[in-house]
Structure formats: structure tokens, C-alpha cells
Chain A
Amino acid sequence: MRNAQPLVDALRKPETVLSLDRRGWTELISIARAESLIGSLAHRLTNIEVPEQVKPVLKDAIQTTDLARLQALWEADSAQRALVPLNCKTVLMKGTAYVAADLDAGIGRSIGDLDIMVARDQLPAAEEALLDAGWEWVKPDAYDDQYYRDHMHELPPLIHRERDRMIDVHHTTLPLTAGPTPNAQAMLDASVRLDSGLYVMAPADMLLHSVAHLFADGDLAGGLRNLWDIDRLVRRFSESGEEFWAELGTRAKLHQLVPHLARALRLAVRLYGTPVYKYRAGQTKFTDYLYIRRLLARDGWGRETRKFTRQAFYIRSHWLRMPPLMLMQHLWTKWRKA
């Protein structure tokens, strides 16, 4: 297999796996592991009759993500306890938010770091509280540290010295140097309180953060998983119908993410058959084809393929994050230190 299409097909229509031979199964599993979607796939296939040899692989994947879910919630709880004295909203983001809010996007999802957002003026206090509670700085490099503090949307990553788990403390959703400037205060204001006392973003904001995460914050590595999150979130939130789509339009404008949202919806329709409100998705563009090409760049051995496309997206990701002069300074500093 030359691309990741079998994984996309299996997630979209689980019955497509019925036509796989043994070798096809092996390739599907390798691709799904490489894209961190093996847990999501395993859950999608629970009602499908799969070959005997495949059953334990899927069972392993489900157990692994069950544990990841438990650890993620525990980690969120630990952070919350550390931040209690601040008396501020702690908003969970990404995977931890999906499992804490019991959303489909959290089913079988792999979760690595804990991502949280607090108000920007609370950052120093939050950092101090986390350091007191056993987290430590990861980046020993002064340039990197200062770079994070001056230009990024989050504190330099912290890691817990006993549990060895990383926490990213955000104050907004995109680097300060990126083109769009999402309204972090509006996201905090609209966030929804869970029974645990932690917060998650309101539906439209949560989806838009996922969109920002997919496009503006990287080179589309892990893109198939991020797009799967988007598919799951759209399917759940759009149950409320027009209301959600109207709110999504308003919030996309507020966060300056209208074209990003449109592109994400078009790609989700194309790959996962996501039901979307056409007006939000806009017209198909030629460049959509390049995105699809990039997202599917993975062969049946689990290898990354399409080096040139990947490289182009990598350079583009830096271009999007920084103005040209700053990018040159940054790359120059990084190159000298390498």
C-alpha cells in the first residue's frame, strides 16, 4: 500500500476491512500505529468480525487507551489540585478535554501531554504553583526558554519529576507571532464547567481550537488524527443543528479562523465523510489536493512518504508562525547552536 487510505476507509466505514487479506491487515495496523489512531480504529471495529490474529492486537489497543484515559484524568486532577490556590479557571484542552467531557473524540484516543489554558495574567502564578507541586522545567536552554516566554502561546513545557508526565500551560491557542489571533479571553469566558471543577471550551471554541491545532500550529504531522478529532466533534456538536453552525461561524470570525475552519471541514468531508454545513466549508480549492496528499503520506510499512511534500509543509509551518525577519533570526540562532 502506497498511502494511508486503508486507515481512512476503515475509520470512515468499518465494514471496508472485511475485504482485507492478512497482509492488508498487517499494513492497516502499521499505518494506524504510526498515525496514533490504533485505539480509535480498535473501537470502530468492535462490531466487525475480524480475523483471530487481529483480535488481540485490537484488544491491546483498547486496553492501552483505557489506561491512557485514566492517566490523563488523573494528571488533570493533579494539576487542578496544584492550581486551587489561584482560584482561576483551568481549561482542559485537546485529548484530556475530550475524555473529561465524555466526547466521542476521546474514545480510543491516545493522549500524551496534559494541555491546559489559564488567563494570561495568571501565568506566573500558575507556573510557580506547578513548580511547587513537583513539576520541573524541561528546556535547559536559555534561548529556547526565552523564545517560549516572548513568542509562544504557552509556557516552556514542564515535566513532573515523579510521574514523568508533561504539562503544557497555554494562555491562548496559537503562537503570538502567528497570523490569526484567536480571542483567548472570549474562550475562557465561554468555557464550560465540569462536575470536577475543571473547565472545557464551549463546543464551537473546542472545534476551532482543534482546527487551529491542525493547521496553524505545525506541519500537519499527526494530521489524520487531528482531522479525526474534528470529524468526531462536528458529528457530536452538529446534533443541535443550525444553532451550532451559526455559533461556529460567529466564533470563527471572532478568532480569525474562518478560512482555516472552512479548509478543515472540506478535508474532513473528503476523507471521513463528515456531515457539514456546506456554507461553512466553502468552495473546494486546488490546494486542498496538496493537503490530502500530505495527510495520506504514509505507506503500508508505516513509513513516512512524500518527502518533498512533507518538507514543503514543514517550511510553511514555520512561515505561518513567524514573520520573515524573525524566522531568519530564529533559524540562524538554531543553526549556530546545532
Chain B
Amino acid sequence: MAGLHHLYLTVGPARFRVASTWRQPLDQLAALYKDYPASSDGYADFTVRLEPEKPWRRYIRPSVNISGDYWLPDAAPLPLSQSLLAAEMGMNLQMALGWRRHLLLHASSVEKDGKALLMTGLSGSGKSTLSAMLAEKGWRFMGDEFALLNPDTDMAHSFPRLISLKNEAIAAMQSIVSEGRFGPLMRGTPKGDIRHIVPPLEAVRKMADTAKPALLLFPRFGYDPALRDMGKSEIFVRLTQASTNYVALGESGFRALTKFVDTVPTKAMDYQSGEQAEELIDSLWSQLP
């Protein structure tokens, strides 16, 4: 069988071994993750594999199949030009299906003064873009894909992967982030155009630091700016849907989530621009106990 190129990556508490038939995605990962801690001892929590769907698809119209320790039977292959996205999706998949040490929330998070702001919502709500934007304005970026809640300590752990920008958000961030921190532009992916940016260096250096969840927002882009209260039961149900391993954690997941809902102030936030969102967030943040 064909040999595999491979690379070890450490992101937050998780260590990955990414193996690929092609060099391309690994070279791209190596460049973008160059400031992350080196893990050269050969240990990994998860293996991600990027391989051709059929042997000849290595050369002819190359297509990248995502698999690894955990995989989904119906995951569609991606063209080689999107192999970096495939690698990132592969790592997400391992976390979503295999990670049990924390309650995983599909949320972005940033930190200030040891306190964490979490943002969750449907795709397109702007949670990635908002976290990326706040990260350039004095907040520490903790992650834009998963927030990791520790059921024993109630603390949020950082998982600062590359930030995945979609469609209009790419241009918006190009005005505030230097070109050198951008990955390749991938057009026509299943989620439209995608371009990754490397989180600020501080986010990488402090990725082992935890933060106390202090505020949860459900942002919604494209509506007149407003803040609304939400019922606890609604928050709870929406968070169970936003968690990839809530069921798998059983009782400890239930306890972690109920405590989170009981103690963390939560608002629904509508906004039409980054500035509006920042203003709303700052006002809420200053009122926190």
C-alpha cells in the first residue's frame, strides 16, 4: 500500500497525527501551524487520514477522502485544492466524535481578565468572524469552532485552531489582519469560499490557559441591533443541540450543562456590523459582576 506523509500537531489539550497521501496539505498545515508547540515524540490522541477515494484518484482529478480514528460514512470527498480544509474538517471530526474529556460546544470563545465570552449559533450567525475580530482588539482568541468545558472545574479550555473565514468575512478581515497570517483562498467549497487565518501569537502562546465562562451570546447577523433575554430552558435545549458530545458524556455532560446555564449570563444579540456588535459586547461586559 502507498506510504503516507505525516505531521504531528498540538492544539490546546489535543494532539493530532495527520497523515496524507499528498504532501500539499501537510506543507500548508506546517506553514500555518509553525508557531504551535512542536510535538515530536510521536504521541497523538487522534489520527486523521487524507487519502484518495480510489487509488487512481491520487493522480487523476485528485479527490481527498477524510477518515481517521473516527469518521462518518457519508462524508463527501474534496478536491485536492481544498485539502487544507479536508485536514481541518478531519481534526474537527475526531474531536466531535471522539473527545470525552470536556463538554464540546460548537461555539467561538475569547478571553479577557481570565473570563471567557462564548458565542454560539447557527452557521452564518457570525460567531467565527466576531471572535476573529475581537482577537485583534485586545481579547485573547480561544477558538472559533469548539469551546471545551471541563465538567470537573467548570472552566473553559482553549482550542485555538486556524480561524475559518467564509465568504464576505474574508474581505472584512483582510482589512485588519496582515496578509502573512492568511492561508490559501479555497473557492467553491461545500460552504462557499473559505480562507483560514492564523490566530494571533498570544492565543497560541497562552493556549493552555483556561478561563471562567462569564457571558454567553447567541449572535444573529443582519438585524437591527438588539439584546434579548432568553429562557433557561431554551438556552439549555439550544446548547444540547450545539454540543457534539453532550449525549456521549451522559450524566457528567448533563451536570456540566445545567450548571453552565444556571450560572452564565446569556443574551441573544442582533447586529448589522462589527462595530455594533463590539459596542453591545462592551456594554454587557462592563456590567458583569
Are the chains A and B members of one assembly? Answer: yes
A residues with CB within 8 A of B: 21-23, 25-26, 29-30, 33-34, 51, 53-54, 56-57, 59-60, 63-64, 66-67, 70, 299, 301-303, 305
Contact of B49 among A21, A25, A33, A302 (CB under 8 A): A302
Given contacts A26-B47, A301-B47, 16 further A-B contacts (CB under 8 A): A22-B41, A22-B42, A26-B42, A26-B43, A33-B98, A64-B100, A299-B1, A301-B4, A301-B49, A302-B47, A302-B49, A302-B68, A302-B69, A303-B1, A303-B49, A305-B1
A54 — which chain B residues lie within 8 A by C-beta? 43
Q: How far is the CA of A54 from the CA of B4 in the complex (A)?
A: 24
Interface residues of B in 230-275 (CB under 8 A from A): 248-250
Measured as residues with beta carbon below 8 angstroms from the partner, the interface class of chain B is: 20 to 34
B19 contacts chain A at the CB level, 8 A cutoff: yes
Main secondary structure of the interface of A (DSSP, over half): helix
Once bound together, how far apart are the Cα atoms of A51 and B44, in whole Å? 12
CB proximity of A113 to chain B, nearest CB, Å: 15
B250, A70: Cβ atoms under 8 Å?
A: yes
Q: Is the CB of B19 within 8 A of A301?
A: yes
Question: In the complex, how many angstroms separate the beta carbon of A261 from the nearest chain B beta carbon?
Answer: 33
Cβ of A165 to closest chain B Cβ, rounded Å: 12
In the docked arrangement, what's the CA distance between A64 and B98, Å? 9
Inter-chain contacts of A301 with B (CB < 8 A): 4, 19, 47, 49
From residue 32 to 80 of chain B, which have CB atoms closer than 8 A to chain A?
Answer: 41-45, 47, 49, 51, 68-70
Q: Which of A34, A60, A299 contacts B101 (CB 8 A)?
A: A60
Find chain B residues with CB under 8 A from A21 CB: 42
Is residue B220 contacting chain A, with contact meaning CB distance below 8 A? Answer: no
* 8 nearest A-B residue pairs (beta carbon): A23-B42, A60-B100, A22-B43, A22-B42, A33-B69, A22-B41, A30-B47, A26-B44
State how many angstroms separate the Cβ of B20 from the closest Cβ of chain A. Answer: 11
Chain A residues with CB below 8 A from B15, complex form? 53
Within 8 A of A (CB), among B1-33: 1, 4, 15, 17, 19
A-chain residues with CB within 8 Å of residue B49 when the two chains form the complex:
301-303
**Which residue on chain A has the smallest CB distance to residue B17?**
A26
Q: Given A26-B42, A53-B15, A67-B250, do A33 and B70 touch, yes or no (CB 8 Å)?
A: yes
Asked if B41 and A57 make an inter-chain contact with CB atoms under 8 angstroms apart, the answer reads no
- A299: chain B residues at CB < 8 Å are 1
Measured between alpha carbons, how far is A303 from B47 in the docked complex, in Å? 11
A residues in contact with B98, CB < 8 Å: 33, 60
Query: Taking the nearest CB of chain B, how far is it from the CB of A296, in angstroms?
Result: 14
B102 to chain A, nearest CB (A): 11
Cα A60 to Cα B70 in complex, Å, equals: 14
B42/A67 in contact, CB under 8 A: no
> Which residues of chain A are near B43, meaning CB under 8 Å?
22-23, 25-26, 51, 53-54
